[in-house]
Amino acid sequence: MLLLSEKDIRKVYTMKDAVEADKKAFKLVVDEKADAPLRTNIQAPKYDGCFLFMPAYVEDMDIASLKIVNIFPRNIDNGKPSAPAQVLLIDGKTGEVIAILDGTYVTKLRTGAASGAAFDLLARKNCKIGALIGTGGQAETQLEAMVNVRDLDEVRVFDLNYDRTVEFAERMQEYLKDFSTKIVAVRTSDEAVDNADLLITVTPSTKPVFDGNKIKEGATVSCVGAYQHHMQEMDPVILERASKIYFDSKEAVLSESGDILIPLEEGIITEEDFTGDLGDVINGKIKARENDDEIIVFETVGVATQDLVAAYEIYKKALENNVGTVWE
């Protein structure tokens, strides 16, 4: 069995690799070639957390996986990951666990890559300004994915804690120094979204974190954080203004995400307003952006097939490059 740490993964796998892996995963989902039951969610209300168990199996690839990811937002205040996790990779021919990967980093990669894939497929080609709301454990790779798929002049970052926002912007400016994008901390959500071509929200908020009336025409919005029914980062106004609404998986979103479930229940939108899954865009079954004035919304809650594809590709690259620790 191969043990792969974050350091090991970074040696062999890039954000661009992760974006392409997510596209493969989304295609597997809509092609119904992945057996990935909806995740088991066990609540830990005492700590505002939850335990998530996410299995997946792709027969054509002879591989299965199980991710154990625990969402504890308070961890950020103690300098710990808000989504600690491990991924078990399983040989589909023998049932043996062949690798254990740092699931915290795999989750960061594939979650950021989902926004990256959506922007790559749906956003205007000439995007110049990005906005990121949230600076928690998942924010780094969201920003990394954004600048990987579009050549941006500036990304504005907002979080309720301004000191943390400044620290995050400075740290990410250094980390992304190979890109020409300027990372700027701002004090309000309105400042962040003003004239932004791309917007990512990645917070545990239970109320909207931006004003949907202030999103410019032609913008592409990716909402990432609302993985439970009571969570709602997205201003429902943006759903009314949107020309198209896409998902990583409609089934998964409608089982979990308050961003979509709450507006449905309130009658703000209906299922007729949904465009479809990103995998159907990849397959050419539904259209992507048709003009530069469309506002496009992408809602993602994450599916286990993303973890499987990413983990398997990391595992193969690690073997090729003799990276990782063998546990016999």
Residues with a known catalytic role? 67
Tokens of 58: 């792709």
Distances (CA, A) of 321 to 8, 45, 100, 214: 10, 43, 17, 48
Nearest-CA neighbor of 130 among 76, 175, 169? 169
Phi-psi region of 305 (alpha: psi -120 to 50; beta: other; left: phi over 0): alpha
Nearest-CA neighbor of 204 among 138, 113, 146? 138
Question: Residue 325 carries which side chain, given as an amino acid letter?
Answer: T
Cα–Cα dist 286/288, whole Å:
7
Burial of residue 32 (number of CB atoms within 10 Å: 0-12, 13-18, 19+): exposed
